[in-house]
A and B are shown apart, each in its own frame.
Chain A
């Protein structure tokens, strides 16, 4: 069965420091990986996705993610965190054999302290 794990419920980081939000996945077949962000009282906003090619994917708001096939991971990173990055982050996966379903992780809450 396909699954996505976000091992940390919450990540705390000081403003200006680098941040990492972790994601690992388990699928059969090639994974297509997504990161979304959710601000309070808002829907999910697309940040970036990995389809194929370069393992380092750059996305919106200065975020990037690295696809690591051997570790089945797709961690979200940003070199310098902003207070405004504080939000709920979701990792998601789809495959070519997964039909219509996108499998979402449970989410990681990021707190950036000034």
Chain B
């Protein structure tokens, strides 16, 4: 899984903390994604970036704030989270955001626990 890396792998935070998740892709792709994976629920698409421009915000609460400084890096800034935000957060990348035949490649995820 060296194609897409995520740090940290595990994060425990209180509801008043501010933290950031980091994703880096080494595949030369132009699109990056954040997904939320909760137990027994389908993957939820949160944000999509294409060439560093946010092109999809899937009704995500403002306590999640994405940042894409370049096509290789993606951040998810977290503040004043709720316990129900505890989940596995997955980053993915693909060659192009709008090409339906492109494969998405996933990182290992950050396991987030909000106390």
Contact = CB atoms under 8 A, between A and B. Distances in A.
| A, B: real partners | yes
Interface stretch (B40-48, B62-70, B73-81): B40-48
Contacts of B9: 41
Contacts of A103: 42
A99 B103 contact: no
Contacts of A102: 45, 104
Interface size class of A (residues with CB under 8 A): 20 to 34
Interface stretch (A17-25, A61-69, A70-78, A88-96): A88-96
Contacts of A107: 42
Interface string B72-115: 00000000000000000010100001101101111111010000
Interface string B53-69: 00110100000000000
A99 B90 contact: no
Contacts of B45: 100-102
Contacts of B100: 32, 94-96, 98
Given A41-B9, A96-B100, 17 more contacts: A4-B42, A32-B101, A43-B1, A43-B107, A44-B43, A46-B103, A46-B104, A46-B105, A94-B101, A98-B100, A99-B56, A99-B98, A100-B45, A100-B48, A101-B58, A104-B42, A106-B42
28 contacts: A32-B100, A32-B101, A41-B108, A41-B111, A42-B1, A42-B108, A43-B6, A43-B90, A43-B106, A43-B108, A45-B106, A46-B104, A49-B101, A49-B103, A99-B56, A100-B48, A100-B50, A100-B56, A100-B98, A101-B56, A101-B58, A102-B45, A102-B104, A103-B42, A104-B42, A105-B42, A106-B40, A107-B42
Interface of B: 1, 4, 6, 9, 40-43, 45, 48, 50, 55-56, 58, 90, 92, 97-98, 100-101, 103-109, 111
